[in-house]
Chains A and B, each alone.
Chain A
Amino acid sequence: MSLTLLYVQTLNGLQLGVLLFLIAAGLTLVFGVMDFINLAHGVQYMIGAYLAAMFTAMTGNFFLGLALALPSALLFGLALEFLVFRHLYDRDHLDQVLATFGIILTLNQAVKVIWGAAPLSVPIPDAFSGSIVLMPGLLYPVWRLVIIGSGLAIAVLLGILVSKTRIGMLVRAGATNANMVSALGVDIGKLFMIVFGFGAMLAGFAGAMVAPILSVEPGMGDNLLILTFVVIVIGGIGSVRGAFIAAVMVGLVDTLGRSFGPTLLRAIMDPAAASQTGRALAPMLTYILMAAVLFFRPAGLFPAKK
């Protein structure tokens, strides 16, 4: 296990973390501000990927495809909000779970009807294909660097937006006490719609950005949704900063644990047992992390102050 490998895996972990953050940011805001459990958030990610695949195939250019996919994902999110979600804001969490579960079933099946069951793919834009040498012996695919870079940029922008602007202030206030914000004369319905649409677009953006490296297939958002919930729970619901730190944590623990776990175990047990245990433990790592965090901090790392 060389140092180079450690660097590469750290970059990989960072990339997964950034991806998780893009999805988690919207989810944690929707949850924190509107107190709304949206299981269908993973579907937004899938829709983003499918839209990017479709528009890229139509226009022949990924960036044109992306430019068309983002507003479409936004519109789609707003349409869902208008048709279903806004009728559920004042309902019980469990009603929201049931309805959004129904939406997952519907949309997973719908994309299969529209685009077929076989996975789709999107080519990497020519300008960003291939790998570059970051340091001697360290080769890294350019597109993954683009994902990391754009994710970090969005994280910074989002941070500024939430902490410095008026709308950000309202969002933060909403996460702490939505009733109070409403009583102060802010159109809470409009605020919700903006937050929701924005979250949907971010998830769609994540889906579009990974379309060139992951296969685009029905149900692709389901497992990621669970991981995203892990992230926002570790980070503390409603906290964008918490979501970012937790996303990077989960990304690194998952990636590094998978590749270095068995090696570390080998130091304390014989190789056969180490690889056996490593294999059993690797997929559990993120859940163990979450259980541990919640054990010591039952409301996550950065709980919103109520």
Chain B
Amino acid sequence: MISKAKTLLPLLALTLLSGTAFGQEKLKVGVMVTLSGPSAVLGQQARDGFNLAVKQLGGKLGGVETEVVVVDDELKPDVAVGKVKGLLERDGVQFVVGPIFSNVLQAIHKPVTDSNAFLISPNAGTSNFAGAQCHPNFYVTSYQNDQVHEVLGKYAQDKGFKKLFLMAPNYQAGKDSLAGVKRHFKGEVASEVYTPLGQLDFSAELAQIAAAKPDAVFAFMPGGMGVNLVRQYRQAGLASIPFLSAFTVDESTLPAQKEAAVGFFGGANWAPDMKNPQNEAFVKAYEAAYNSVPGTYAMQAYDAALLIDSAVKSAGGKVSDRNAVRAGLKKGDIKSLRGNFKMGLNGYPIQDFYLVQVVARPDGKFATSLRDKIFDNYVDVYAKDCKPAN
């Protein structure tokens, strides 16, 4: 025990010393994303996108010297709570940027918004925090989760598909996903299939699709599940049935899906080939720095840095003036990579949504590409339940 205490006490002393002195205006941002496990690539994209923005702004956000602390939430909500407390108290961060996954967001939302810091989510945007539980210290640079799924439902409806086959993993986000699709699609639902989370072989479901002969398939299969589903879908010879999806074919999965995904559809608020000068510069810089095509995760984290930058700037660089910073965040006055971007009253963006399609680029890489615009200035359906506190 003595030797244990000997090792433990310096460890604690060290953590005590590393707490920063408050007072001088210095900006500290904690980036909390998932960097371990099969979904690590999403977290890496977000981290890289954020770091790229900070680097391009000369290491300063809003003109204030900025230090970025990156932590891995391990996709374990209880671990995330402990680590976010570390960011807030030990590192004294004024902003937490994260997380990727909704279950982690549910866990860290309260500790962060209760503290002196702001929480900026570069990806997870759950319905509860968009509606009745909206919070003036919480902002989202992605979307309300349902909106992406709604894009495909609306598209299927507009396109006149009569019969849709729906599949999603058996968890809350999966159920929300299919509800989002059905909000706009009024035709027949051939079948709603929920697969166990983490299922990798979809042969059973593909056989059901072949038997049901739908006009189109909608799938929500993030990460490795999507990689497997897309490849097996093509291998099963089903590619003649249009494949509509959310979070299933994107820049995080395309390096593994490759040709198998070409022609498949997704919904998004952006794609790497969006035409505007700042986006073209971003994609070029990102690909040069990280040797991969950026996805929405990287774009939204980049925008999160821009959002912090604009808020701190509008507060005159006084990070400690929380009301001024909050006013800046509410304004959301940024030149977003996605072009049209306004901050809604609930802290979720008001933006356009597009149908995107997977293409093979001339350089041999794969990316999503913009097709039709499906929604203009789209406000999420929960925003009306949000009664801003101030």
Contact = CB atoms under 8 A, between A and B. Distances in A.
A touches B (Cβ under 8 A):
yes
B360 interface: no
Interface of A: 1-2, 4-5, 8-9, 12, 15-16, 109, 112, 116-121, 123-124, 129-131, 139, 141, 143-144, 213-220, 223, 255, 258-259, 275, 279, 282-283
Interface string B255-292: 11110000000000000000000000000000000001
Interface in B1-46: 35-38, 40-41, 44
A218 B38 contact: yes
Contacts of A143: 235
Interface string B212-239: 0000000000001001100110011100
A116 B257 CA distance: 15
Interface of B: 35-38, 40-41, 44, 170, 192, 194-196, 198, 200-201, 203-205, 207-208, 210-211, 224, 227-228, 231-232, 235-237, 252-253, 255-258, 292
Given A9-B207, A215-B228, A121 B258 contact: yes
Contacts of B38: 119, 217-220
Given A118-B252, A282-B196, A131 B236 contact: yes
Contacts of A16: 201
Nearest to A280: B170
A112 B40 contact: yes
Contacts of B231: 121, 213, 215
Contacts of B227: 119, 121, 215, 217
A275 B195 contact: no
Nearest to B174: A279
Contacts of B198: 223
B232 A118 contact: no
Contacts of A1: 211
Contact of A214 (B194, B201, B253): B201
Given A16-B201, A112-B40, A121-B227, 7 more contacts: A15-B201, A213-B232, A215-B227, A215-B256, A217-B38, A255-B203, A279-B194
B170 A282 contact: yes
Contacts of B253: 119
B256 A259 contact: no
B248 to A, nearest CB: 12
A1 B44 CA distance: 43
Contacts of B204: 9, 12, 255, 258-259
13 contacts: A5-B207, A9-B207, A12-B204, A116-B41, A117-B40, A141-B236, A213-B228, A217-B38, A220-B38, A255-B203, A259-B207, A279-B170, A283-B170
A129 B257 CA distance: 15
A215 B201 contact: no
